[in-house]
Amino acid sequence: AQSVTQPDIHITVSEGASLELRCNYSYGATPYLFWYVQSPGQGLQLLLKYFSGDTLVQGIKGFEAEFKRSQSSFNLRKPSVHWSDAAEYFCAVAGAAGNKLTFGGGTRVLVKP
């Protein structure tokens, strides 16, 4: 069965500093991987996705993620965070059948001025 682990429940970062959110997955085949962001009271917005090809993928809002098969990881990064990046971030993996998404527990990001 597929699963996703986000080891960090909370991360606090200063505005302008870099951010890295960790995601580890368990899946038997080549996964489809996603990062979603959820602002308070909002739905889930897709930041970026990986299906195949270049293992470094660029997304919206200046985010990028790198797929590392050997480490079963898909970490999300941003070089310089803005106060508006304060939100909860979810990593997800797609199943082979029906394309359901299995989500990690989420990482809440707080941005200090």
Partner 1 sequence: EPEVTQTPSHQVTQMGQEVILRCVPISNHLYFYWYRQILGQKVEFLVSFYNNEISEKSEIFDDQFSVERPDGSNFTLKIRSTKLEDSAMYFCASSDTSEAEQFFGPGTRLTVL
The residues of the shown chain that bind partner 1, judged by CB under 8 A, are 32, 34, 36, 41-46, 49, 51, 90, 92, 94-95, 97-106
Task: Report the distance separating Cα 100 and Cα 91, nearest Å.
Answer: 13
| Closer residue to partner 1 in complex, CB, 10/112 | 10
The minimum distance between CB 65 and partner 1, in angstroms, equals 14
The minimum distance between CB 100 and partner 1, in angstroms, equals 4
The minimum distance between CB 113 and partner 1, in angstroms, equals 27
Burial, 57: exposed, middle or buried (Cβ in 10 Å; 0-12, 13-18, 19+)? Answer: buried
CA dihedral angle for residue 7, residue 8, residue 9, residue 13, rounded to 10 degrees: -170
